[in-house]
Structure 1
Amino acid sequence: MRKINSFTFLTLNGFYKGPGDDTSWHKHGEEESKFSEQQLEAGNILLFGKTTFEMMQSFWPTPMAAELFPKVAKGMNEAEKIVISNSLKKTDWKNTKILRGDIIKQIQELKASKGKNITILGSGSIVSLLTNAELIDEYQIMIDPVAITKGTAIFNNITTNLDLKLTESRVFKSSGTVLLTYKKV
């Protein structure tokens, strides 16, 4: 059986994105880049909602991404990717599959099968959807030392309380960003 984990960065006041899907407040320095490289080495399937997927697709395959973050860009481009969308018909980003229809059933079947683990990157609506279906095994939350005036909370649409246990923490000293890893109780 595969594991599903979620990786999301948040503001101090709990937003994963600001108005207009803005994430420019996120601090991503050298330490965070090395962490991203290490995470990609695990070879997990990357799972996205359409909005996050389109944002990632617009950056990681570009020459700018390869210049700024060469190892992360290579890892992102080579990784197996799944985007959940009923409206997206095709994509040019290599190694990408589009899921549509009964998402919960398809993710349950994927999770029950043998193979690579799955990491949800950002994608708050997918995190809420899979949290409600009790399909996420671990939550990694990277908290940036910033608060914004408006935004969308990561667990904005959950329908039941979520009880978690802290299993790991890490401080990125140069940025002051903190990574918290939780598992379901």
Structure 2
Amino acid sequence: MRKLTAGLFIAADGVVESPEQWHFPYFDEEMGAAVGARFAEADTVLLGRVTYDSFADAWPGREGARGEEGEMAKALGEARKIVVSRSELEFTWRNSEQLKGDLIEAVTALKQENGGPIGMSGSISVVRALLAAGLIDELYLLVHPIAVGRGARLFEEGVDPIPLKLLSSEAFASGVLHTVYGPAGA
């Protein structure tokens, strides 16, 4: 079975919404390497439509860049990109397709296919649904040392508990804590 990993930038108060407004002061080589390594392993990327749109606007033009940025852009470009959306989509970025059918059924089938790891970034509503269904094998949280104070949190109030097990953690010089969680029963 293919491994599904999801990664999110998260504030110390649990906010995951609009990281472009608070994340960048903490981005450094350590974080870039951590994010890049996860995507370098993945041959398939699962994204919500909003995250896909932001990636498709940013990454294709960087494929010719040198260093880690160019390597990550090339890896993302070559990966199979599956986009979750209820609306019919048209794609401009190569190797992109729309997820068809029910999210949980389609991702369960995707994990059964031959291939390497499946990576996710952002896509909060998709991550929530897949966590609740027990389909995410590793949850990478880059916890930023900032309390944003408002915005959507990863775990909404009133949902059933999702027991997790800490698989690893590392503190970056920027103060960001890189944590990796798996299902508690694993």
Q: What is the TM-score when the length of structure 2 is the normalising length?
A: 0.87
**Aligned residue in 1 for 2:141:** 141
Q: Distance in 2 between matches of 1:159 and 1:114?
A: 33
CA distance in 1 between partners of 2:43 and 2:158 (Å): 25
> RMSD of aligned C-alpha atoms?
2.1
Cα distance in 2, alignment partners of residues 162 and 94 from structure 1 = 35
How far 1:98 moved relative to its partner?
Answer: 0.8
Question: Given the superposition, is the C-alpha separation of residues 22 and 141 from structure 1 closer, same or farther in structure 2, using an over 3 Å criterion?
Answer: closer
Q: 1:59 to 1:160 in 2, by over 3 A?
A: same
Partners of 1:115 and 1:73 in 2: how far apart?
20
Distance in 2 between the 1:91 and 1:183 partners? Answer: 32
Aligned mates of 2:157, 2:53 — CA distance in 1: 22
Greater displacement, 81-90 / 156-165: 156-165
Partner of 1:59: 58
Secondary structure of the corresponding residue to residue 154 of structure 1: coil
State the match for 1:31 in structure 2: 30
- TM-score normalised by L of structure 1: 0.88
Structure-1 residue corresponding to 2:92: 92
Matched residue, 1:81 = 81
What percent identity do the matched residue pairs reach? 31
CA drift at 1:66: 3.5
Match of 2:163 in 1: 163
Amino acid at match of 1:107: V
Give aligned pairs, total: 181
Match of 1:71 in 2: 71
- What residue number does 1:14 align with? 14
* Unaligned 5+ runs, structure 1: none
- Aligned residue runs from structure 1 range 109-120, under 5 A: 109-120=109-120
Q: Give the partner amino acid of 1:40.
A: F
Contact 2:52 2:83 in 1 (8 A): yes
Matched residues in 1 for 2:60 and 2:165: separation? 36
Question: In the alignment, is the contact (CA less than 8 A) between 1:131 and 1:158 conserved in 2?
Answer: no
Identify if the C-alpha distance between structure 1 residues 34 and 65 changes in structure 2 by more than 3 Å, giving closer, same or farther.
farther
Q: What is the CA deviation profile of residues 7-40 of structure 1, one whole-angstrom value per residue up to 9, with x for unaligned ones?
A: 11101110111xxx45231122122222233222
After superposition, give the CA deviation of every residue in 1:112-146 in whole Å (9 maximum; x if it has no partner): 22222212211110011111222111111111111
Shift of 1:157: 7.4
The match for 1:107 is: 107
Match of 2:183 in 1: 184
